């Protein structure tokens, strides 16, 4: 009888641990649109890109802990969308370090790095403390998805300087006419995210031919491989 009570007690304790562990993981992370990929750069001025990022942060009601327009760097406060329960406070939070570079007057490159922290049991005097878990198993992928989510929020604020392939006429052309039809297109973005810069020569029978800045002529399936054009 005593043995049975002991076993029952162990089972109940184990169930409680599982229950609490489950609660601690009840964090809801936002995500980008399924096939969304950040663009290599944006066809906007440095000033506009800076203001748009701050506007997105304002909409999310998140401030900054550091910002330097001159150095092109913003460190955000913490985002959190963790559920709260009777025994669980907000257990996870994340922030971004955002850097801006200016390839030229009409282009801006934005790099976003996410950091995730979790409220974990500590040692010594501190019972619980926030710890950086970005590079631990599973959370590295979550951080990447959170970066994509924020990139998409920013891109929705302005025209990216990238246009969909459907927005450009795709009839076959002679090479002599290519400079006229595609003169504003300075490259393409592939479905895998690779960027090919150069001059489009023709698009015919689902084959896009492009001469790269190095002088090579490459061919891609227009429907299956090409995601967007890069325009000036």
The number of folded domains in the chain is 2
How confident is the model at residue 151, as a pLDDT?
A: 93
How confident is the model at residue 207, as a pLDDT?
A: 85
How confident is the model at residue 122, as a pLDDT?
A: 65
> How far apart are the C-alpha atoms of 92 and 69, rounded to whole Å?
29
- Is 99 a domain residue? yes
The residue assigned the tokens 């325009």 is: 231
How confident is the model at residue 170, as a pLDDT?
A: 47
How confident is the model at residue 209, as a pLDDT?
A: 87
> How far apart are the C-alpha atoms of 129 and 117, rounded to whole Å?
10
Strands 128-132 vs 217-221: parallel, antiparallel or unpaired: unpaired
pLDDT in 10s for each residue of the chain, 232 residues:
555 555 555 555 544 444 444 444 456 788 888 888 888 788 888 888 898 899 899 988 899 999 999 999 999 999 986 554 434 444 788 999 999 998 777 788 999 999 999 887 766 566 678 889 999 878 889 999 999 999 999 988 875 445 455 555 444 444 444 455 577 778 888 888 788 888 888 877 778 888 888 888 999 988 788 887 777 6
Q: How far is CA 64 from CA 24, 47, 213, in A?
A: 27, 17, 40
CATH number at residue 147: 3.30.530.50
- Is 22 a domain residue? no
* Prediction pTM value: 0.57
Residues in CB range of 207: below 8 A, 6 or more apart: 219, 220, 221, 222
How confident is the model at residue 95, as a pLDDT?
A: 96
CATH number at residue 206: 2.30.30
How confident is the model at residue 212, as a pLDDT?
A: 87
The residue assigned the tokens 């926030």 is: 130
Q: Are residue 38 and residue 88 in the same domain, yes or no? A: yes
φ, ψ (nearest 5 deg) of residue 188? -135, 155
How confident is the model at residue 86, as a pLDDT?
A: 38
Residue 193, domain extent: 162-231
Q: Are residue 130 and residue 103 in the same domain, yes or no? A: yes
- Is 18 a domain residue? no
| Neighbour count for residue 48 (Cβ, 10 Å) | 14
Final residue of a domain: which of 101, 136, 155? Answer: 155
Q: Are residue 213 and residue 134 in the same domain, yes or no? A: no
Q: Are residue 81 and residue 114 in the same domain, yes or no? A: yes
How confident is the model at residue 231, as a pLDDT?
A: 72
């Amino acid at each position: 009888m005593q043995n049975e009570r002991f076993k029952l007690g162990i089972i109940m304790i184990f169930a409680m641990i599982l229950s609490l562990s489950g609660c601690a993981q009840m964090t809801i992370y936002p995500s980008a649109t399924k096939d969304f990929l950040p663009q290599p750069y944006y066809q906007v001025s440095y000033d506009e890109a800076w203001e748009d990022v701050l506007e997105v942060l304002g909409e999310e009601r998140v401030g900054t802990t550091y910002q330097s327009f001159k150095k092109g760097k913003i460190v955000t406060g913490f985002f959190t969308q963790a559920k709260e329960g009777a025994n669980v406070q907000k257990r996870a939070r994340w922030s971004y370090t955002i850097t801006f570079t200016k390839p030229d007057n009409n282009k801006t490159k934005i790099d976003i790095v996410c950091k995730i922290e979790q409220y974990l049991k500590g040692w010594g005097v501190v019972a619980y403390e926030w710890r950086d878990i970005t590079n631990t198993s599973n959370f590295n992928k979550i951080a990447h998805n959170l970066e994509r989510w924020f990139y998409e929020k920013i891109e929705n604020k302005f025209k990216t300087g990238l246009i969909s392939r459907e927005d450009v006429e795709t009839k076959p052309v002679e090479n002599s006419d290519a400079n006229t039809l595609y003169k504003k297109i300075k490259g393409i973005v592939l479905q895998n995210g690779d960027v090919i810069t150069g001059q489009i020569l023709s698009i015919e029978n689902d084959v896009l031919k492009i001469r790269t800045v190095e002088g090579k002529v490459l061919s891609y399936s227009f429907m299956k491989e090409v995601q967007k054009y890069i325009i000036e």
